[in-house]
Amino acid sequence: MDILFLLKLEQENVLKLTRAFKERVLSSSEGVAGVYAEIKGALKLFFSIDEEFLYQEIGELFPNAHKSIDYGMKLHTEIGVTLAKLDSCIEGSSDNGDLSALSEDLCRAVVQHIEHQQENIIPRMRERIPTQEREDLAEVFSEIKEELVKESPVSRPSGELVI
């Protein structure tokens, strides 16, 4: 197993949870808070992995990666703003119409972020990092993720969805 496989698993998990949240919001207000807590925890873990592992690795490996890293961080900020607005909606200080629009915004931004990684970062890693080194990075990744999961009890690394 190499780092590219593990990154793809993380991306798929976040996409699945984001889409489940959007579907829950659009279909019913029941259970939205639980699904929201799940996606918020998963995104926190995903962004921590990006910031504490992925961006550091590509920054060291690729001298011109700063544009890609800056763009990823911009998307982290955008998603963070949307999450803050969703917090208000979930807590009841906004109406459900806002919740629907914000769930759409969140899904769009997460998809955009993951597409950016899949189109710009992952292919470069595949081209330029030898297989053995990618396997070694997978071990480092797993250790870092384990530490981050311990620090973030809200997230469920298995991708289990609370509904």
- CATH code at position 41: 1.20.120
What single letter denotes the amino acid at residue 161?
A: L
The answer to whether residue 158 sits within a structural domain is no
pLDDT of residue 150 exceeding 80, the answer is yes
Residue 102 lies in a domain: yes
pLDDT at 21: 92
Distance (Å, whole) CA 122 – CA 116? 9
For the cut 80, the answer to whether the pLDDT of residue 158 exceeds it is no
Task: Name which residue leads in pLDDT, 159 or 84.
Answer: 84
Residue 156 · residue 41 · CB < 8 Å:
yes
Output the 3-class SS for 25-40. Answer: HHHCCCCHHHHHHHHH
Compute how many other C-beta atoms are within 10 angstroms of the C-beta atom of residue 113.
24
pLDDT of residue 61: 85
Count CA atoms closer than 13 A to 145's CA, side-chain side. Answer: 20
Looking at the 3D structure of the chain, how many domains does it have? 1
Q: Write down the mean pLDDT value for the chain.
A: 87
Answer whether residue 31 is part of any domain: yes
Structure tokens at 123: 């292919």
What's the pLDDT score for residue 161? 38
Q: Do 114 and 14 meet the contact criterion of CB atoms below 8 Å apart?
A: yes
Domain membership of residue 161 (yes or no) is no
Give the structural domain span for 77: 3-151
| Residue 157 is assigned to a structural domain of this protein | no
**Highest averaged pLDDT of the listed ranges 14-23, 88-97, 148-157:** 14-23
Domain presence at residue 122: yes
**Residue 45 belongs to some domain of the structure:** yes
156: in domain = no
Whether 148 and 49 have beta carbons less than 8 Å apart is answered as yes
pLDDT of residue 44: 92
The model's confidence at residue 30, banded by pLDDT at 50, 70 and 90, is confident
